[in-house]
Structures are given as structure tokens and as C-alpha cells.
Amino acid sequence: MGFIKNKEKFDKFFIGLFAGIFIPFISLIIFWRFNIEMFPSVLSFYEKIQIEGIYIKLISLLTITNLLAFYLFLEMKLYNSVKGVIAATFFFAFIVVILKFF
């Protein structure tokens, strides 16, 4: 058996792409909430990122959280969803390259 009875319903490229794009954003919100004393508002958090110039580092670190979705989909043998997570990771890598060199 498996975790999900109708795996075919969840084995879609766009489900993996959606997970791969939104998991880093959810991780960013969680990171901000754990540091709420230092950054009482989203604006102060954004200003700190802007002043320090850590966009590239932050995007890179948040993209690592895609490993959770990758291994979860891989364990459940949802290979098309895994492809979507990989595509989202390459999308973020492309953004990092653009920000770093242009």
C-alpha cells in the first residue's frame, strides 16, 4: 500500500511545481515569525534584507527546504511531482544567477 490511495491524482507536474515554489515562501514566513522580536513587521524584515544585501543568500537557503517536498514525493513514488519540485528548484537557481551576475 502507500500513504495515499489515489496516487495518480497527486502525481502531477504542477502539484510538484506549486509545492516547490510555495514551500520556500512558507519557510520565509516561518523564519520571520521565529525572529519577530528582531523584526516586528514585515517591512522591517524586508528593510534588513535590503540593507544587508542578502537576497541571494536568503533565496538559496530557502530553496533548500524544497528537499522536504522532494523526498516526500520520492518516498510516495510520485515521480511527476518530483519533476515539478526539481523544476521549481531550477527556477530559483535561475533567479539567483540573474541576481548575482546582472
Per residue in 5-20, pLDDT (tens digit) is 778 888 999 999 999 9
Residues in the chain: 102
71 lies in a domain? yes
**Residue 5 near residue 76, CB atoms below 8 Å:** no
User: Residue 5: inside a domain, yes or no?
Assistant: no
Mean pLDDT of 70-84: 96
> Does 95 map to a domain?
yes
Residue 6 belongs to some domain of the structure: no
Domain count of the fold of the chain: 1
Structural domain boundaries, residue 19: 13-101
* Cα 41 from Cα 71, distance rounded (Å): 33
DSSP 25: H
Any domain includes 23: yes
pTM listed for this prediction: 0.86
Domain annotation covers residue 58: yes
pLDDT at 2: 57
Contact status, residue 10 vs residue 80, Cβ threshold 8 Å? no
Q: What's the grid cell of residue 39?
A: 523584526
Q: What region, left, alpha or beta, does residue 53 occupy, with left being phi > 0 and alpha being psi -120 to 50 degrees?
A: left
Domain-embedded: residue 7: no
